Amino acid sequence: MFSNQKSILNFFAVLLFGAFFIVSAVIPLPVCAETSPKISAESINILTKTNQALSEIVEAVKPVVVNISTSRIIKVPQHFDPFSNDPFFRRFFGDEFLPKIPREYKTRSLGSGVIVSPEGYILTNNHVIKDAEEIKVLLPDKREFKGEVKGTDPKTDLAVIKIDAKNLPTISWGNSNKLKVGEIVLAIGNPYGLNQTVTMGIVSAVGRANVGIADYEDFIQTDAAINPGNSGGAMANVKGELVGINTAIFSVTGGYQGIGFAIPSNMAKAVMESLIKEGKVIRGWLGVSVQSVTPELARQFGLKEEYGALVSDVFEKSPAEKAGLLRGDVIVEYEGKKIEEPLSLRNMVASTAPGTEVEIKAIRNGEAKTLKVAVVELPAEMQVTPDAEYENVLKGISVQDLAPNIYHQFDIPVKIKGVIITDIKQGSPAEEKLMKGDIIQEINRKKITDVKEYEKAASKIKPDESVLLLVFRNGTSTYITLSNK
């Protein structure tokens, strides 16, 4: 009987369960009220207009941003097998006893550029095309051209190349001096070879210096994502104007970490125009050595604030000396613009056209003085001399005369004469033994006092000839032998 009662109960349970689904299908059960917030029509309208505006900016700028690919041959010394891979041999005899043979391989790199004229001039970074043996430029319309270097300026990391094309699209120049922190900017380039990539951010800071990327630094800092390959690309404002040339990132991993730098458009435009017209960059010069104003120096010179450029030396017969500037003056204004630090003054003077008379405000013994100074061109002996392509052990070395400011900057004894190394190209025979900042005093026991003597001596060295150099480094003179073997 118990079994019959259990069967009856199971029958009624199934019947009730089925009835529940039948009723719920006919009569919908009540549901909870919708709790997700609604987006107002006004908000949707604002965001739609913002999207449309950003798209229009991108469509206006993208046609002028190109992909630049370069290639070059690198020679590296390689240990000769079979002993180079023998741990026993390396342990007892060392690497220096292993014979070496040169090995060549082709390296490729990618970057970006901005079309700046309908005739095919393209502005990019110097490091994008440096030492390139072949330059290819890919336009947004998929046309490809061979690029020719028209001028480079390592001091600002800018370069101009040209392609054989006409009626190309261009971009309007913006005034980078008017950029303010917080403004929206777009970065357009080819990171990792991904063509026409657009990122957005804000201006994080302006006037960034002491970054260590170039000699003349006045960078725009942004949080717009800039990655390898973006170098040379465009930074545009909300008007679609070019306000910067993307240059580098600050990163410990090699990728984007929220800090990117761009060369201001005003600096880039001045350098570009000079390179196209003159084939070099003509910079202004005052003829002073300056240093930062520290709290201690501010007290010593009776300054109320710690800003400006303290004059530590005035060169003889320079514009500064003729205008009456003295050692101990603190330059606080240049053409009405406040000088926060020495690098600001240096950039302003360098971008001033030679022959221009400028007004300088300086503090002397606690009193303000206004002086008129006629800026002249930076003397040739104070400029870096590009390396000649010597086919010998000195290939790939750039040198400069020892100007007075270099003696002061590097604390070089007055008795030391020679030329200072400003750059050594990768793959140079001297790369492993010489370094930037070395002073070459002698070549093959002959004294070198300036660039002309260096070039004369270097041009006489045969391709397979070893060279004996006397080099001043870290306060000591040392003999160094260079060899192609």
105 with 147, same domain? yes
Specify whether the CB–CB gap between 349 and 285 falls below 8 A: yes
150 lies in a domain? Answer: yes
CB 122 within 8 A of CB 152: no
Rounded to the nearest 5°, which phi and psi values hold at 132? -70, 135
Residues 171 and 141 in one domain: yes
| CATH assignment at residue 71 | 2.40.10.120
- Cα separation, 282 vs 416, whole angstroms: 29
Q: Are residues 409 and 458 in the same domain?
A: yes
Domain edge (last residue) among 314, 349, 377? 377
Spatial strand order of the sheet with 158-162 comes to: 144-146, 134-138, 65-79, 100-115, 121-125, 158-162, 148-153
**Quick one: 473 and 364 in the same domain?**
no
- CB burial string 93-116: b at 16+ within 10 A, e below: eeeeebeeeeeeeeeebbbbbbbb
Task: Assess if residue 231 is contained within a domain.
Answer: yes
Q: Is the pTM of this model over 0.85?
A: no
CATH number at 441 reads: 2.30.42.60
pLDDT of residue 332: 92
419/388 Cα distance (integer angstroms): 15
The Cα–Cα gap between 192 and 254 comes to 12
pLDDT of residue 475: 86
Could you tell me if 232 and 113 are in contact, meaning their C-beta atoms sit under 8 angstroms apart? yes
Does residue 18 sit within a domain? no
Residues 145 and 201 in one domain: yes
Tell me, what's the pLDDT at 326?
92
In a domain? residue 7: no
Active site residue 127: yes
H helix or E strand, kind and range, residue 51: helix 41-61
Which is catalytic among the residues 127, 153, 265, 318? Answer: 127
Q: Is 355 helix (H, G, I), strand (E, B) or coil?
A: coil
Task: Please tell me whether residue 214 adopts helix, strand or coil conformation.
Answer: coil
Stretches where the chain sits below pLDDT 70 are 1-36, 73-107, 212, 249-257, 380-389, 405, 409, 485
Q: What is the DSSP letter of 385?
A: B
- Give the domain-ending residue among 259, 280, 301: 280
Q: Is the dihedral of CA 142, 127, 251, 156 positive or negative?
A: negative
Look at residues 353, 377, 401 and tell me which one is the last residue of a structural domain: 377
Written as one string, the DSSP assignment of 427-453 is T-TTTTT--TT-EEEEETTEE--SHHH
* Tens of pLDDT, residues 182-199: 999 999 988 877 778 889
Q: For residue 466, is it within any domain? A: yes
Q: Are residues 332 and 418 in the same domain?
A: no
According to the model, what pLDDT value does residue 78 have? Answer: 52
Dihedral (C-alpha) 410, 412, 414, 417: value to the nearest 10 degrees?
-100
pLDDT value, residue 173: 95
470 and 343 in one domain?
Answer: no
Active site residue 79: no
Q: Between the CA atoms of 350, 355, 360 and 365, what dihedral angle is there, to the nearest 10 degrees?
A: 100
Same domain, 306 and 433: no
- Please check whether residues 66 and 202 belong to one and the same domain: yes
DSSP 127-164: HHHTT-SEEEEE-TTS-EEE-EEEEEETTTTEEEEE-S
Dihedrals phi, psi of 53, to nearest 5 degrees: -65, -45
CA angle at 274 for the pair 123 and 196, rounded to the nearest 5°: 10
pLDDT at 80: 46
Task: Give pLDDT, residue 252.
Answer: 47
Give the pLDDT of residue 358. Answer: 94
**Helical (H) or strand (E) element with 24:** helix 2-26
Q: Residue 55 domain-assigned?
A: no
Are 360 and 222 in the same domain?
Answer: no
Identity of the amino acid at 413: P
Residue 157 designated active-site: yes
Domain holding 106, by residue range, is 60-280
Spatial CA neighbour of 120 closest among 140, 148, 158: 148
Residue 149 covered by a domain = yes
241 and 346 co-located in one domain: no
Query: Which amino acid makes up residue 109?
Result: S
Number of domains in the chain: 3
Q: From residue 16, how far is each of 7, 12, 22, 24, 28 by CA, in Å?
A: 14, 6, 10, 12, 18
Angle of CA points 244, 271, 137, to nearest 5° = 70
Catalytically annotated residue among 109, 112, 153, 157: 157
The single residue of 231, 289, 318, 344 carrying the catalytic annotation is: 231
Residues 204 and 327 in one domain: no
Residue 47 falls within a domain, yes or no?
no
